[in-house]
Amino acid sequence: MKRILDLRVAGALTLLFAAGGLAWHGQPGIEKKWQYMAPMLESRLLEREVYIDPAELLHLINDDYIHLVIYDVRSEPDWNEFRLVDSEHMPLEKLPGERDRLLALPDNAVVVVVSNDEMLATEGWKHLMVIARPNAYILEGGLNHWLNVYGAPADEVDAHGKASLGKPDGKLRHPFKLALGDRHVASRPDEHLTPHRAYSKKVKLLKKVAKAGGCD
């Protein structure tokens, strides 16, 4: 329950900071377009419909039927320090260049935006809605939350520490002695070896995908 409250507080602060003029990285056109689209889309953020649990993202990573795109919108130093396997380094200013690719994604595509917490990823999600309206989601609590869940074995959880999720500041709160990139054990945990984690499924495909064997 405390974790849920922390994430809701963090989410509210994220939206407050964004509404207060979080930098749009030199793209006033995107900011103006978002202001036009906000009445239609902001409720999805306020009601946290697009924030997915780390366990749901892990399931997507291991689901061969999903065309998954993970955009990591953080700085290059943070990207080099830790990142998810198969994620793409995509600073906000580069997102408009992805428009043609996003428009051509198949019906079974899911785009997930990640950052250290939810601040920058939420801004990235807004960019995506303006650019192409893909089937996009945000990693709940960011990579700080991911590392809280998957950063260390259950019997060594204190070795790495758990980051507070109550106050978003955009920082990677887990210290690393070496910049391991996607070579860290938490970059792609084995879904079958991690403890079961209950979550509310939020990802919906644009179209039902036929599985192997031709059955819908």
CATH architecture of the domain 2-187 equals 3-Layer(aba) Sandwich (3.40)
Q: What is the pTM of this model?
A: 0.82
For the chain, give the percent of residues with pLDDT over 90. Answer: 69
Tens of pLDDT, residue by residue over 129-164, are 999 999 999 999 999 999 999 985 443 344 445 766
State residue 18's pLDDT score: 47
29: pLDDT strictly greater than 80? yes
Mean confidence (pLDDT) of the chain: 85
Tens of pLDDT, residue by residue over 159-197, are 445 766 778 899 999 888 899 999 999 999 999 999 999
- Domains of the chain, by residue range, sit at 2-187
Tens of pLDDT, residue by residue over 46-87, are 999 999 999 999 999 999 999 999 999 999 999 999 999 999
pLDDT-derived band at 211, boundaries 50, 70, 90: low
What's the average model confidence in pLDDT over 1-28?
51
3-state DSSP of the chain: CHHHHHHHHHHHHHHHHHHCCCCCCCCHHHHHHHHHHHHHHHHHHHCCCCEECHHHHHHHHCCCCCEEEEEECCCHHHHHHECCCCCEECCHHHHHHHHHHHHCCCCCEEEEEECCCCHHHHHHHHHHHHHCCCCEEEECCHHHHHHHHHCCCHHHHHHHCCCCCCCCCCCCCCCCCCCCECCCHHHCCCCCCCCCCCCCCCCCCCCCCCCCCCCC
Residue 122 vs residues 61, 91, 94, 101, 138: alpha-carbon distances, Å:
20, 13, 16, 20, 7
Q: Specify the range with the lowest mean pLDDT, choosing from 15-24, 29-38, 181-190.
A: 15-24
